[in-house]
Amino acid sequence: MPTSPQTRSTGWHHTRNTEKHTRRNDQEEPDYSVVSPIPEPKPQDVSISIIAHGPYRVHGDVAVYEDVFLHNEEQTHMEYHRQRTIETHPDEHGDVYLCRCGASSHKPFCDGTHEKIGFDGTEVADRAPYAERAELVEGPIVDLGDDQRCAYARFCHRRDGDVWNLTEEADTEELATEAVQGSWLCPTGRLESINVNNGKVYEQHFDPSIVIIDDYEEGVAGPYFVRGGIPLIGVDGHRYEDRNRYALCRSGSTQNAPFCDAMHINVQFMDDDPCWDGEIGPVDESFNDNPTL
């Protein structure tokens, strides 16, 4: 069975002096016991399977949305805005095929263009569990896991600093909350804020869903943000570690297939999101910007 992402107790690569944040014996320990549960959908219920040099096959009751992200009005952090719900029309098997090569004329759906262009979708990403790949940044209230898988979405930059500095310097609940905000909105799952007392990971609850995200300020279309613990199955049948958040490349340009590595910016990948015509929807309330610590 895949390792659950809800606790991280072994395998970390420490990047900071463990004595830096030693507490005094008489210092009151904060109660950070409320951690949002991560759904555990069964593979036969919902899943994403990677087709060899072809699309992603999405099986089951998985909603698909399109969001755009940009700075909030105060310019203090990024936020997601809901653009539209995508009508998927599953086939008789309950499957939907999403483009992976980036060249479909019917994005986000596959139209067979991958065969015409000779798309190479070979999976090359490290399959080791998150805790074996990630480094640990230690802090006085929360720690931070970082596995370096970056989509350049910039949610890690907040009003009072970036999530790494906030983690190390957060000696108040306000700053610790901001550190969690900067990590749990990251679409790739690169960043995880961790309770220093019990090792649990702060995660939002998501129903199994896929959010197509576009970067308004960079002027490019981004990856598929997969939420809610949807199992990911490789071409060879390998089930990747279950994650509450991960980002799959849809531009066909990643060098870390199947995951996004921000190459969509380099290739100036585009789609038909209404945002490119200046239409920005309301803030997406399925994302929680107020974690409870």
**pLDDT tens digits, residue range 140-163?**
999 999 999 999 999 999 999 999
User: pLDDT for 198-221, tens place per residue?
Assistant: 888 999 999 999 999 999 999 999
Q: Give backbone dihedrals phi and psi of 65, rounded to 5 degrees, phi first.
A: -125, 170
Angle at alpha carbon of residue 57, lines to 243 and 128, rounded to 5°: 35
DSSP element (H, E) containing 166? helix 163-169
At 89-118, the pLDDT tens digits run 999 999 999 999 999 999 999 999 999 999
CA atoms in the 13 A half-sphere facing the CB of 247:
28
Quick: pLDDT tens for 53-72. Answer: 999 999 999 999 999 999 99
Beta strand pairing status for 142-146 and 135-137? antiparallel
Cα end-to-end distance, the chain, whole Å: 30
Dihedral (CA of 41, 261, 188, 199) sign? positive
CA-to-CA distance for 263 and 283, rounded, in angstroms?
A: 26
The pLDDT value given to residue 36: 45
Residues 195, 293 contacting (CB under 8 angstroms): no
Site of tokens 């190459």: 263
The answer to whether residue 291 sits within a structural domain is no
16 occurs within a structural domain: no
**Domain membership flag for residue 3:** no
Q: DSSP character for 181? A: H
User: Taking the CB of residue 24, how many other CB atoms lie within 10 A of it?
Assistant: 6
What does the pLDDT look like over 78-97, one tens digit per residue?
999 999 999 999 999 999 99
Strand, helix or coil for residue 175: helix
Q: Which two tokens stand for residue 82?
A: 């809901």
Instruction: Establish if 18 belongs to a structural domain.
Output: no
224 token code pair: 């598929």
Whether 118 maps to a domain, the answer reads yes
Q: What percent of the chain has pLDDT over 70?
A: 85
Position 40 scores a pLDDT of: 52
What is the spatial distance between Cα 105 and Cα 276, in angstroms, rounded to a whole number?
Answer: 17
From start to end of the chain, where are the E strands?
13-14, 47-50, 56-59, 63-71, 78-86, 95-98, 135-137, 142-146, 157-158, 161-162, 191-195, 209-215, 220-227, 232-233, 245-248
Residue 119 within a domain: yes
Whether residue 39 lies inside any domain: the answer is no
> Alpha-carbon dihedral of residues 259, 242, 141, 134, nearest 10 degrees?
-50
Please report whether residue 275 resides in a domain: yes
pLDDT more than 90, % of the chain: 81
Give me the domain span that covers residue 96: 44-284
- Domain count across the chain: 1
